[in-house]
Structure 1
Amino acid sequence: MFSAVLVANRGEISCRITRTLHSMGIRSIAVYTEHDHDAKHVRVADAAVLIGSYLSVEEIVAAAHAIPSMNAEAIHPGYGFLSENAHLAEACAAAGVTFIGPGVDALTIMGDKIASKKHVTERGVAVIPGVAEPGMTNDDLVAAADEVGFPLLIKPSAGGGGKGMTIVREPAAVADALASARRVASAAFGDDTLFLERLVEKPRHIEVQVLADSHGTTIHLGERECSLQRRHQKIIEEAPSPLLDEATRQRIGEAACEVARSVNYVGAGTVEFLASDNSPDEFFFMEMNTRLQVEHPVTEMVTGIDLVEWQVRIAAGEKLTVEKPQLTGHSVEARIYSEDPANDFLPSAGRIIALYEADGAHSSSVHSDGLHSDGVHSDGVRAGSVRVDSSLVEGGTVSANYDPMLAKVISYGATRDEAFTALDRALADTVILGVTTNIEFLRALLARDDVRAGALDTGLIERALAEIEFAAPSPAVLAAAALSIHSDHWMSGSPWQQPSGWRVGKHRPARYRFECAGTVHEVLVAGPPSAAQVTVADQTTPARLTSTGIEWGTLSIPLTIARDSARAASDTSTIWVAQQGTSFSLIEQSRAESLATHRATLARVAGVVDPELRSPMPGTVVAVAVAHGDTVTAGQTVLTIEAMKMEHPVVATLDGVVDISLKPGDLVTRDQIVARIESPQASTEGETP
C-alpha cells in the first residue's frame, strides 16, 4: 500500500479523498494555486505544494516529488480538471508514479465521446441517434443538423459536467450555438471537437457505478438517478432510481459492465445512460466517465462501500473482495452552489462570514471516534442520516475563478420519503453567509409533488422555474438587521453616538435603510436594543435580539445574523440573515445612497430601458460580438462574459448604435458598464428617448 498520495484537485473532493487516505493510514499531499492558499483542502492535508494551474500536467507530476521527505507514490486526480486526461496517466507512468484511475487506452477511447459511441456500438450497446465524426467543421455540422433532426443537442466530444452542451430547436440557431459551444469546450477541455445528437424529450438520466480490478473482476454497484438538472448540470441525485424495476436494473448494470470490460477498465467509473420516461425499460449509452463522480456519495450510502478506498486499493494491485452488493435504503444528494437563483443563477463570490453545516462535522476531517465525516465507517456500516462533503471554512474565500459548487449534502433513509425529508431538514439547518447560495431553490425543488413522486426528467427544473417564488425579507428579518446595527451604535460608549432618538421636544426613532434584491426597505427603531420598538411597513412591534435569533412580539424566531464590514469605508455594511435555509443580503444604505436611489427612481420614465449595459457579475470577457459604432437591435448579444466556468451573454436593451471598447480577455467587475447603446431617437431634436 502507498505511504503517500498526491491529490491533484481542490475543494470538497480533495477534502473527501484526504479523509479516506487518512483513515487508511496514508499521508496526503495537496496542491493549490495562489487563489487557494487559505483553502480547506490545503489545511486538512499533511503537506501542500504551490502550483500555477490545476490544469498543468507537468506541475502536478512534479509536485508529487516536490517534498523530499514525503514523496508521493501515487496521484489521485479526483474529478474535473485532469481526471480524465490520458496525458496525465502517461506522465505518471514516465515518472514512476501510480495514476489512481484506468489505463491510457480506456481514458483515450472513453474520453472521446465520438470514439466511445462507435466503440460500444460494436459491443451491442444501444446509442442515441446522431452525427459524430472527428474533424467536422461548423459548416459540416450545420449541414448535418437537418439529417439529425430537431430538436437536437450539441455536445463537446471531450469533457463533461454539461459544459458546452446546447439545445437547439430550430435551424437558424445552429451556427451561433456551435460557436458558443466551441469556445466553452476549448476553454474547459482544451478540445473544441463537437458532435450532434437527437434530443430525447422528457429523458431520464440514469448512471451506473462500476468497479473493476486488474485481475479480471468487474462489478456494478447499482444505479443513480440524475435527472434533476439545469443547463445539463446535475443538482439533485439519488440512489437507487425510482424509475427502474429489478429486471431493468440488472440489464442496465450488465450493459455498464460490458462497456467497462470492452476497454479493460480498472478502478471506479460511471457509465451514463439516457432512458425515456415513457419507456423506462429502454436505455441508450451516452458516455463513460472514467473517474469518480460528484454524486458518488449516494452509492456509498446505499451500499456501505467507500469508493475512494477501493480506488486506492485497486491502484495498489489488490483484488476486489466486494461481492455485488444489495442496495439498502435510499440516499439523496443536493449540490450547494454559490449562485443566485432569483437572479438568473448568476454566480456569487465573496468571503464566508458565518457557517454551519448540518452534520456538525465541518470543522474537522475525521471524528475522534474514528468515524469518517463522509458517513461511512471503514467496515462499510452507514452512520447517521446526513453526510456533508464540503470545502468551506469560516473566513475562507469563494473565488470566481473556479466552479461554483461549494458543498454536497447527502441524506440516507430506510425509504425514499425518509431520505427526502432528512435532506430537506439538513438544508434548512445549513447556514452559509457571505455569498448567495441556491439552498432556498433546492428546498423548493424537494417540496414539489412531482419530485416527491419520482416523476422526473431533465427538463423538469426549467419548467418549474416559473412556479418557484423566492422569499422577500420578512419584517422580523429586517428588524434583526436593523437591531444588529442599532446595538453596535448603542454600545459605542459615547452618549452622542447612541441612537437614542433624544431631541428637544418629541424623540425621533433611528432610521435604517437596506437594499435587498433591488428593493429598499426602511426600518425605524426606538429605544434601547434590549427593549426596542421596531417599525416595519407602518407596523410597530416590540423586538430584541437573542442568542438564537429575535423575539418579535410574542414570537421567538430562530435566525442567524452576521455582518460583513467590507463596506466600512462608506460607513455602511452588509447584514446577512439566514432563516430555514433562506439567506438575505441586506446592504445598509447611507442617507446619501438612499437619496440617490430615490432620485434615480424619480428620474426614470416608465417604459424607458437603461441604455447602459452592465456586467451581471465579476468575470472575463470571452467574446465580443460587435464592433464600436455597429448598429444593434434589442436582444442581440453584444459580448459574452465567463465566470465560474459558465458563459453569460450581455444583450442590447434597445435598438441603436453601440459604444464599446472591451476586448476578449478583459476582466470586468460586477455592475461595471461594459457598453452603451445610443438610440437614434435620442439625437432627434424635439423627441424624448
Structure 2
Amino acid sequence: MTVSRSDSHRGGGGATGGLTNVLVANRGEIARRVFATCRRMGIATTAVYSDADANAPHVAEADAAIRLPGNTPGETYLRSELIIEAALAAGADAIHPGYGFLSENAEFAKAVLAAGLTWIGPPVAAIEQMGSKVESKKMMDAAGVPVLKQLDPAEVTADMLPVLIKASAGGGGRGMRVVRELSELTPQIEAAQREAASAFGDPTVFCERYLETGRHIEVQVMADTHGTVWAVGERECSIQRRHQKVVEEAPSPLVEKIDGMRARLFEAARLASEAIGYEGAGTVEFLADEKGDFFFLEMNTRLQVEHPVTEQVTGLDLVRLQLQVATGRPLPARQPEMRGHSIEVRLYAEDPAHDWQPQSGPVHKLDIPGTRGEFTVLTEPGVRLDTGVVDGSVVGVHYDPMLSKVISFAETRDEAAHLLASALQRAKIHGLVTNRDLLVRVLRHPAFLAGDTDTAFFATHDLEKLSAPLVSEADEKLSIVAAALADAAANRQAARVGRGLPSGWRNLPSQAQSKSYESRLTGKHEVRYRITRAGLEVEGFEGLELLEATPELVILQVAGERGPVRRRFEIARYGDLVAVDSPLGPVAVRRLPRFEDPADQVAEGSLLAPMPGAVIRVGAAVGDRLEKGQPILWLEAMKMEHTIAAPAAGVLTELNVSAGQQVEVGAVLAVVHSEEQE
C-alpha cells in the first residue's frame, strides 16, 4: 500500500498530529461505544441528535452535541451536509460513521474529506467497490473468492425459486425478502425497494438463490496503511430473524470442528481485502454449509454490530485500532491469538410470539446482574453490556428497536452460554415487551449447546415454544398473588389511619379482598385473599404462608410435595404496570380498575395499531369479504413495514385510516366482523 492511499483518510490538516475531537455520525449504542474508546484515549467527542433523540444517553455523554432538526432518518442521520456542518461547528477534526445510516455511503466519505476532516473508515474507492453488492460479487469472483451467482429480478423463473431479494446499498435485514411464489416477486421487490430507500437512501435491490439452511460465518479484518492485513477472527451469526442477526459468537462452532476451514476462510477474507486495497475495520461475510464449503455474501466496509465478541476473544479494542489506522499508525507487529469464547445477544423491544412485532414506549428499568463492564473488553469471565438505553429512556418508532447487546465471555462455549442465559433470566427489564425469554431459551436449547445452528433455527425448532414465557402459568399466578400483596402493603403504607395494620386483616372471617390484574400472556386474573388470625388465605392456593410483605418485597412460603419452599418476589410499579421479578421468571401485569369505563371498551374484531407509525398503503375497502390472514393495510415504523391482516375470515365493516395517515399505538384501525360472529 502506498503513502497516497494512507492519505485517503485525511482531510486538510490537523489529523497528522493525532485526533482531538471525533464526531460520531450515529446514535444510541454505537455512538456510546465510540465515545467510550475516545474517552480512554483522551479524545473529545461530539454527538448529533434528532428531535426524537434529544434526551438520549449518547447526547448527554458527549462533550458537545448538535441538533439535527426532525425525527426520521431521512430528515436527520441521513443528511450528510448537516452532519458535516455539525462537525465544523463543534470543532471536530474527524468523523466516525458507526454502522447503518451513512456508514457505507461513499459520497458521504468524499464530503467528509472535502471538508478537511479525517474519515474514520476505509478509502472511498473501497466503499464504492463494496457498496454495490452486485458489482462486489463480480469483483470477488475475479479475485478467486467463491460466490453465489446473482440473478436479474426480471429474469427470475419459477424453477429458480426460492430467491432472496437484497438491498444493494445496505444490510441489517432492511430491504430483504424471501420469495417462494413467482406471483409474489413483483410486490416483494417493490416492498424491498421502499424499505431500502427509507433505510439507506437507495432503492436498488437484486436477487440471488436462497439457501433454506446454511451457516452465516464472517471474518473480521483490520488493515493499516502500510500493507498489513489482519484476519482477526471469525464469528458465527447463523441465528437470525427476518435476515437480521439475533445471536452471534466467536469463535464459530462450525469452524472449530472442520479441519482447515479457518485457514481457508482467513485466506478468502484477505484476498477480498487486498483486492480492493482495504484499510481500517471491515467484515467479509460468507454463507457456509455443514461440509465447510462457503460462498461470499458481502463485505461490510464498517464496524459490525457484533464486533464485541471478536474484541472479547482477542483482547483488542477495534474502535481504538480504527482511530489509530485513520491517522496513519501501523498495526502492532504481532496479531493476537483467539482465546476463550464469547456470545452476544441482541436485546430487542419486540414480541417474537406475534410476528416479531416491534414495541415502543418507556424503558423504566434495565438492570443486567453480573455486568462487569460497559463498552470495554473483559479480561476475566463475565458479562459485558453495550447499551443505547438507560432507566427512563424512551424507545421511539423512527429507529431500530434494539435496546442493548449483552455479551458473555468465558473459557468455554458452554460456560459462556450458561452465564449469559442466567444473566438474562435474572435481568430486570421493565416497561416494554422484549425478546429476552426467546434469547434465554435459545441459549439453553440442546441444539444450540451442541453447536447445531443455522439460518433456519427458528423455523426448525418451533418459534412458538422458543418464544414462550420463561415463567409457567402456575408460577405466574403465584407472582400475581405477590403483586397483590405488595399493592396491599403500598396502600396500607399510604393510608393516613391504621397504616401499621396488615391490609385486610380481620379478627373474624369475612369476605375476601380482591385485586384484579391483566397479563398479556394469560388474560385477566382476580386475586381473592384474606389475612386472618390464622394467617394468609388465598383462593386457589393451599399451604401458602406470608413471611413478609412490603410495597417492594414479598416473601412467601409455598407448600410442596417434599416440603415448603421459600420464594422471594421483588415488585416495582410504574402507573398501572406492575413488574414482578423472582427466580421463577419475570412477570409483568396491568392493574385493572375496580370499575371499567365503557368508553375504554373496543368492539369485537377491532384491529388496533400495535405501534405508532404511518399508514403507507391500504389493501381493502369497507364491505370486502376477507380471508384469514389477508392484508388490510401496511404500517411503516422502526424502518420496517408491518402488515395488518384479518385475524379471521369475515367482512371488513369499518376502516378508520387512509394512506399517509399517522396513527398512535392502540388506535382502532379497522373492524372485521368474523364469520363466527355472523
- Give the TM-score of the pair, scaled to structure 2: 0.88
Secondary structure class of the residue paired with 1:621: strand
Question: Separation in 2 of the partners of 1:354 and 1:657?
Answer: 40
Name the residue aligned to 2:248: 237
Q: Give the match for residue 550 of structure 1.
A: 554
AA matched with 2:464: A
Q: How does 1:564-583 map to 2 (within 5 A)?
A: 564-565=574-575, 573-580=576-583, 582-583=585-586
CA distance in 2, matches of 1:581, 1:431: 13
Alpha carbons 1:560, 1:577 under 8 Å: kept: yes
Q: Which amino acid aligns with 1:269?
A: G
Matched to 2:571, the amino acid is: I
Q: Which residue among 78, 97, 104 is the counterpart of 1:77?
A: 97
- How many Å apart are 1:536 and its aligned residue? 5.2
CA apart distance, 1:199: 1.2
Q: In structure 1, which of residues 254, 274, 285 is the aligned counterpart of residue 296 of structure 2?
A: 285
Matches within 5 A, 1:21-420: 21-52=38-69, 53-67=76-90, 71-132=91-152, 141=153, 143-146=155-158, 149-244=160-255, 245-277=258-290, 279-280=291-292, 282-360=293-371, 373-376=374-377, 382-420=379-417
For residues 86-122 of structure 1, what are the alpha-carbon distances to aligned partners after superposition, in whole Å with 9 as ceiling and x for unaligned?
Answer: 1210110111111110121111221111111111111
In structure 2, the CA distance between the partners of 1:294 and 1:243, relative to structure 1 (3 Å rule), is: same
| C-alpha contact (below 8 Å) 2:163/2:208 kept by paired residues | yes
Contact map agreement 1:65 1:72 (CA 8 A) in 2: yes
> Which residue of structure 2 lines up, in the alignment, with residue 673 of structure 1?
668
1:648 aligns to what?
642
Task: Show structure 1 runs of 5+ residues with no match.
Answer: 133-140, 362-371, 566-572, 605-609, 683-687
Indicate yes or no: 2:630 matched with 1:636: yes
Give the match's secondary structure for 1:30: strand
Offset of residue 152 of structure 1: 1.6
**1:236 and 1:334 in contact (8 A); partners too:** yes
Q: What is the one-letter code of the residue matched to 2:148?
A: I
2:57–2:390 Cα contact (<8 Å) kept: yes
Alpha carbons 1:427, 1:581 under 8 Å: kept: no
CA distance in 1, matches of 2:64, 2:489: 43
Structure 1 residue ranges, 4+ long, deviating more than 6 angstroms after superposition: 496-499, 502-505, 594-597
Residue in 2 that maps onto 1:494: 496
Which deviates further from its counterpart, 342-351 or 547-556?
547-556
Q: How many residues align?
A: 638
Aligned to 2:483: 481
Q: Report how far residue 582 of structure 1 moved.
A: 4.4
1:428 corresponds, among 405, 425, 428, to 425
How much has 1:538 moved relative to structure 2? 4.8
1: CA distance between counterparts of 2:434 and 2:297? Answer: 30
Q: Deviations over 1:386-431 (max 9, x none)?
A: 2111122112212222111111111111111121122122212321
Shift of 1:164: 2.0
Q: Which residue of 1 aligns with 2:15?
A: none
Q: CA contact under 8 A between 1:475 and 1:536: conserved in structure 2?
A: no
Q: Deviations over 1:405-462 (max 9, x none)?
A: 1111111111111211221222123212111211111110011111000011000123
Q: Provide closer, same or farther for how the CA distance between residues 11 and 592 of structure 1 changes in structure 2, counting only shifts above 3 A.
A: same
CA contact (8 A) 1:440 1:581 kept: no
Separation (CA, whole Å) in 1 of partners of 2:481 and 2:247: 34
Q: CA deviation at 1:549?
A: 4.3
Q: For 1:579-594, what aligned pairs fall within 5 Å after superposition?
A: 579-580=582-583, 582-593=585-596
Asked whether the 8 Å contact 1:375–1:386 carries over to 2, the reply is no
CA distance in structure 2 between the aligned counterparts of 1:655 and 1:586, rounded to whole angstroms: 32
Residues 228, 458 of structure 1: 8 Å contact kept: yes
Change (3 A) 1:28 1:170: same
Secondary structure of the residue aligned to 2:245 is strand
Q: 1:493-534 CA distances to partner (integer Å, 9 max, x unpaired)?
A: 334999944799853332110010151011124349x99725
Which one-letter code corresponds to 1:619 in the other structure?
G
Match of 2:12 in 1: none
Q: Show the counterpart of 2:72.
A: none
Q: Do the aligned partners of residues 119 and 354 (structure 1) sit closer, same or farther apart at CA in structure 2, a change above 3 Å counting? A: same
Tell whether the 8 Å contact from 2:489 to 2:502 is kept in structure 1 after alignment: no
Q: Which moved more, 1:243-252 or 1:302-311?
A: 243-252
Change beyond 3 A, Cα 1:179–1:628: farther
Q: Which whole-Å CA distance do the structure 1 matches of 2:289 and 2:231 have between them?
A: 22
Distance 1:581 1:332 in 2: 24
Cα 1:56/1:322, change in 2 over 3 Å: farther
Distance in 2 between residues matched to 1:626 and 1:189, nearest whole Å: 30
1:252 Cα offset (Å):
0.8
Equivalent residues of 2:489, 2:503 under 8 A apart: no
State yes or no: 1:461 paired with 2:462.
no
The superposition leaves residues 152-176 of structure 1 with CA deviations (integer Å, 9 ceiling, x where unpaired) of: 2111111100112111222233233
Structure 1 residue 32 displacement after superposition: 1.4
Going from structure 1 to structure 2, the CA distance change for 1:395 and 1:678 (only over 3 Å counts) comes to closer
Tell me which moved more, 627-636 or 421-430: 627-636
Give, in whole Å, the separation in 2 of the partners of 1:199 and 1:504: 72
Distance 1:82 1:581, change over 3 A: farther
Which residue is equivalent to 1:369? none
The alignment yields a C-alpha RMSD, in angstroms, of 2.7
Contact 2:486 2:550 (8 Å CA) reproduced: no
Query: Are residue 616 (structure 1) and residue 610 (structure 2) matched?
Result: yes
- CA positional deviation for 1:186: 1.7
Whole-angstrom distance in 2 between the partners of 1:631 and 1:28:
57
Alpha-carbon distance, 1:581 to partner? 9.1
Residue 545 (structure 1) shift: 3.2
Moved more, 642-651 or 107-116: 642-651
Match of 1:163, SS? Answer: coil
Q: Give yes or no for contact 2:24–2:47 (8 Å, CA) kept in 1.
A: yes
CA distance in 1 between counterparts of 2:205 and 2:335 reads 37
Distance in 2 (CA, whole Å) between partners of 1:642 and 1:580 is 38
Mean alpha-carbon deviation: is it higher for 612-621 or for 497-506?
A: 497-506
Separation of aligned partners in 2, 1:271 and 1:66:
36
Task: Give 1:292 shift.
Answer: 0.5
Equivalents in 1 of 2:391, 2:349: separation in Å?
Answer: 15
Asked if the contact 2:220–2:233 (Cα under 8 Å) also holds between the matched residues in 1, the reply is yes
Three-state SS of the structure 2 residue aligned to 1:422 is helix
Q: Unmatched 5+ residue regions in structure 2?
A: 1-17, 70-75, 558-563
Q: What CA distance in whole angstroms lies between the structure 1 residues aligned with 2:622 and 2:155?
A: 32
Are residues 536 and 206 of structure 1, via their aligned partners in 2, closer, same or farther at CA, if it must alter by over 3 Å? farther
